[in-house]
Every structure is written in C-alpha cells, then in structure tokens.
Amino acid sequence: MIEILSATALATVQDLGREGALRWGVGSAGAMDPLALAAGNVLLGNDDNAAGIEVPVLPFQLRFGVDCTFAVTGADTSARLDEVPVLPWWLTPARAGQVLQLGLPQRGAWPASRAYVCVAGGIDVQAVLGSRSTQLRGAFGGHEGRALRQGDRLPLTTGCGQSDGNSGDIGSAGFGLVPPALALPLQVDGLPAMRVLPAAEYRRYTEASRAAFWAEPWKITAQSDRYGYRLAGTPLQAEAAIEMRSHGIVPGVIQVPPGGQPIVQMRDAQPSGGYPKIGTVIEADLWRLGQAPIGSHVRFIETSWDEAVAAQQANQRWLDRARRLVILQRTQLRKA
C-alpha cells in the first residue's frame, strides 16, 4: 500500500494508455511521458505497461506501507527517502513507513516537468477497458476515476511486500538508467524540439504561416493540460476560411482554431474535433512535449513518414537496450 500525503492536484494513476477504445468514443489517456513510465517499469522488472503515479505538480509526498522497491523517472525532483537523497532514474529499496518526497523539478541536464513513481509490481487498481489509466474527463479508471488526494491509499501488486519480490536482489546500492532526454537529444537553437508530420489542411495555410510554424518558437501557455497544449506564437493564417465537420483525431494532432494559435492534442484528447489540422507531433516525440514545462518554448521540425517510423524504432531500441542492461545488472548482483 502507498499512502498519499500531499494535498496535491492532478497526480493520477497511469499506465501506457487505453488502446483500441477510440471506436467507442473513448480517448487513450495514459502517461504523458510513456518512455519514462516504461523505463521505470523496466528498472523494476515489471511489465512495461504496469501502472505508476504521474506527478505533474510538485512538490509531492507519499508513504510506503510495505517494504518495496521503487524508481522515480521523468523530471529530476531532488527526491529524498526520509532524509536520504534518491537518484533519479535509479532503482531504490524502501522500508515500510518511509516517506518519499519529490521536490521542485530541476532545470539541469534534462529539463522536464513531470515525475513518475513506479513500484515493483505496479499500482494494483482495477483495469477499465483494458487499462488502469485515469481518464479524468470520463471519471473512470485509475483510483476512483479522479486525481489523487491526501489520504488516498493505493494497493500494490505482489512485487512489493514479499521477500521474493524485486526488492530482494538489489541490496542498498541499486542501479539506474541514462534518461532518454540525454540518450536521444533533440533541440533546435537550444530549445526542445518535436518532429511533426504536415497534416491534411497544411497546404491551406499561407506560405508565410507555414514558414513561421517551422522557423519560430512556440510558447506553452498556462491554458495547457493533459487534454491539450495551447501554444502562443505568430498566428497561423489560412488562405481562406476553413469549414469542417467534426472528424477523428488522436494525441499529437495540431489543430488551429479561428484565432490562429495552435492546440496540440495530448493524452486525454477527445477522439473527435472540427478544427483544421496543420500537423501532427509524431508518436515518438510526444513525450518530449509532455515534459516541456508550462511557460517554456519549443520548436517544430518538419519530418516524413519514414523518419517518424525510424524515430519510433530508435525509442524502442533505447528501451530494449535498457532492458538488457537491467537484466545484466540483476544477474551480477545475484552472483555477488
């Protein structure tokens, strides 16, 4: 069991998302940074899709109710277990009663805004439509279909609190991974960048607007959340008014409302919308946008379908290599 100590807002239970439900009008939900969640699970020997806690607003505190192994991935939060520093992206054992404290995100080698607390075995909430992810708009999944509150107690699966669980073979030193922001860097003019595929209505925008879309930075405004990131920059102008019926959309789609300031659909995006689409952030880079802090600026890079597929393969190679390294570390520790 994990007890939430913070009177926090917006922390939720998430896995990699609710796939296959769009045909019923149900969005995917899931971690805004799926690489961070999957990597935490790899460190723990979990299934990649095991549920963890996504923490977008810091600081944050929780208490372990049983002996457990955990990892904090995503943002570097200067975490502490009681008063002992905890390394980010590192496998760490905890004892029953110990308190994990996550501080404000550090703007260091990999600026990021969201942290993920992963535990051996995963958070054991009921799966809804094949996923344990919280869908806030629909009020289902996760823990009671809502954000976590102070005093909530989350059940854990068999990986914690058992002598033969994952916590039994790492000792006190632990081991860790290099974050993908360092292993797979992507920046333009010192700003985080995301590769984008031009979308159906791309050519219906003026040449000047298309050039500005790629050449200028875009600010992530305070009106951004898990549903969508509202951006601010040079307004995008269509060559003529675009009238469209509502149609299917997915996370990553960049819609342009009449005001010309784009909205990137994120993990809790509704499955349909009627605004024209200028582009789509590729799946392989959507985690980069999910980690960009509110108020920061990002850049877009035009890409092709083949390059998008190659980027997704590069992410998978990083994750596969991380899995091999973790297996090797566990093997060496068992022999020691």
Average pLDDT of the segment spanning 129-148: 94
Q: Where are the CATH 2.40.100.10 domain residues in the chain?
A: 187-303
The CB density around residue 71, as the number of other CB atoms within 10 Å, is 28
**Tokens, residue 5:** 């100590």
d(CA 233, CA 53): 33
Q: Distance from CA of residue 21 to its chain's centroid? A: 20
Q: Position 56: which residue type?
A: P
Band of the pLDDT at 171, cuts 50, 70, 90?
low
At 330 the pLDDT is 85
d(CA 274, CA 52): 33
The CB-side HSE value for 118 (13 A sphere, CA atoms) comes to 35
**Tokens, residue 122:** 């995963």
Band of the pLDDT at 333, cuts 50, 70, 90?
confident
**Tokens, residue 100:** 């994990």
d(CA 179, CA 37): 11
At 159 the pLDDT is 65
DSSP state letter for 291:
H
Q: What is the distance in angstroms between the CA of the first residue and the CA of the last residue of the chain?
A: 30
At 334 the pLDDT is 79
**Tokens, residue 131:** 């996923």
CATH fourth-level superfamily of 187-303: Cyclophilin-like (2.40.100.10)
At 285 the pLDDT is 98
At 164 the pLDDT is 40
Average pLDDT of the segment spanning 81-96: 95
Q: Please list the residues that pair with 320 across neighbouring strands.
A: none
DSSP assignment of 8-47: -SS-EEE-S--TT-GGGT------SSHHHHHHHHHHHT--
Average pLDDT of the segment spanning 125-138: 94
The phi-psi region of residue 144 (left if phi > 0; otherwise alpha if psi is between -120 and 50; otherwise beta) is left
Closest CA to 117 of 85, 179, 77, 72: 72
**Tokens, residue 271:** 């499955």
- Helix (H) or strand (E) holding 210, with range, is helix 207-215
Name the pTM for this structure.
0.94
Q: Which of 73-77, 133-137, 160-164 has the lowest mean pLDDT?
A: 160-164
Band of the pLDDT at 243, cuts 50, 70, 90?
confident
DSSP state letter for 235:
P
The answer on pLDDT for 165 being more than 50 is: no
Q: What is the pLDDT of residues 25-60, one digit of tens each?
A: 899 999 999 999 999 999 999 999 999 999 999 999
10 Å CB burial of residue 328 (0-12, 13-18, 19+) is: exposed
Closest CA to 73 of 183, 172, 169: 183
The CB density around residue 244, as the number of other CB atoms within 10 Å, is 13
The CB density around residue 34, as the number of other CB atoms within 10 Å, is 23
The single residue listed with the structure tokens 């460190």 is: 43
Average pLDDT of the segment spanning 178-204: 96
**Tokens, residue 332:** 């060496």
SS3 of residue 85 by DSSP: strand
d(CA 101, CA 63): 9
Extended beta strands in 168-288, E state = 187-188, 191-198, 218-220, 228-232, 247-248, 253-255, 263-265, 272-273, 277-281
DSSP state letter for 140:
B
